[in-house]
Structure 1
Amino acid sequence: MTTEKARDPQDLEQFLIERQWAGDIDGMVALFAPDAVIDTGEGALIRGHEAIRALFEGFAAEGRKFAKGKQSPAVINGDVALTSTHLPDGSITAEVARRQSGGTWLWVIDRYSVT
């Protein structure tokens, strides 16, 4: 498992893609707060590390890989940040990150597509 932590909310997207392409599911899950929520756009929300791990394991089993897109600058307000990426297929992601007590960042909300 990759243990490097995000010191800037902009790091989260890059780390997620790198870890997925390396097959590091534990490293991917570690980028999310334990109470994080993911909206994949397919119905029910994915809540918490166990469900997030199952989601990423399913992607790995399907051979699904995240595409690298053009990341917008994070909008930071205190200990909360909005991150967003414009993907090659035209969709746009939106995520909310929260600064942790040690100064690192974790995602708490991830929405795969806002378009």
Structure 2
Amino acid sequence: MGIQTRDPARDPQDLERLLVARQHQGDVEGMVALFEPDAVIDTTEGDNAGGRLIRGHAAIRAFFAELCASGRKFNVGQQVPAVVNGDLALTGTRRADGAMTGEVARRQSDGTWLWIIDKYQHG
């Protein structure tokens, strides 16, 4: 399945659902396609020295490939309403353990949405 045949995020609220669905399918390229080419994922937590900033599609692809290979699956959490200001949106999901995710999405010229910043929460 090529990226052009995947459903795009037409609303910032679509991004989380699409990411979880694609991760469950092992669709690494589909996961990467939800991020702008120069997006950043922050995997640090507090004083976690093992975390890092992951920048750009190549590094995001490697991160998600490793995650998918581990067999770990994302769980669908309780998505909170996106806060939209013009072409930017703050998205977030409350996980079952109470932790919150936080992402920033940007509206693209075709009206679809891609993440530009993702605060990845381990767990």
TM-score band w.r.t. shorter chain: over 0.9
How far apart, CA to CA, are the structure 2 residues paired with 1:23 and 1:65? 9
SS of the residue 1:92 aligns to: coil
**Equivalence map 1:47-62=2 (5 Å):** 47-62=55-70
Whole-angstrom CA distance in 1 between matches of 2:40 and 2:106: 13
Q: Which residue of 2 aligns with 1:17?
A: 20
Q: Unaligned 5+ residue runs, structure 2?
A: 45-49
* C-alpha contact (below 8 Å) 1:80/1:99 kept by paired residues: yes
Question: Which of 72, 76, 84 is matched with 1:64 structurally?
Answer: 72
Q: Which AA in structure 2 matches 1:7?
A: R
Q: Does 1:75 align with 2:83?
A: yes
Q: Pick from 103, 108, 116 the counterpart of residue 108 of structure 1.
A: 116
- Please state how far the C-alpha of 1:44 moved relative to its aligned partner: 1.8
Moved more, 1-10 or 21-30: 1-10
1:3 shift after superposition:
1.5
* Greater C-alpha radius of gyration: 2
Deviation at 1:65, TM superposition (A): 1.0
Shift >3 Å, 4+ stretches: none
Q: Which runs of 5+ in 1 are unaligned?
A: none
Instruction: State the partner residue of 1:26.
Output: 29
2:11, 2:82 → 1: CA distance?
Answer: 9
CA distance in structure 1 between the partners assigned to 2:39 and 2:78 by the alignment: 23
Q: Which one-letter code corresponds to 2:13 in the other structure?
A: Q
Count of aligned positions: 113
Alignment-mate amino acid for residue 90 of structure 1: G
Q: CA RMSD in A?
A: 1.0
Contact 1:7–1:105 (CA under 8 A) maintained in structure 2: yes
Normalised TM-score (structure 2): 0.88
> Are 1:36 and 2:36 matched, yes or no?
no
Residue 99 of structure 1 is matched in structure 2 by 107
- CA drift of 1:43 comes to 2.4
Aligned to 1:7: 10
Q: Share of identical aligned residues, percent? A: 65
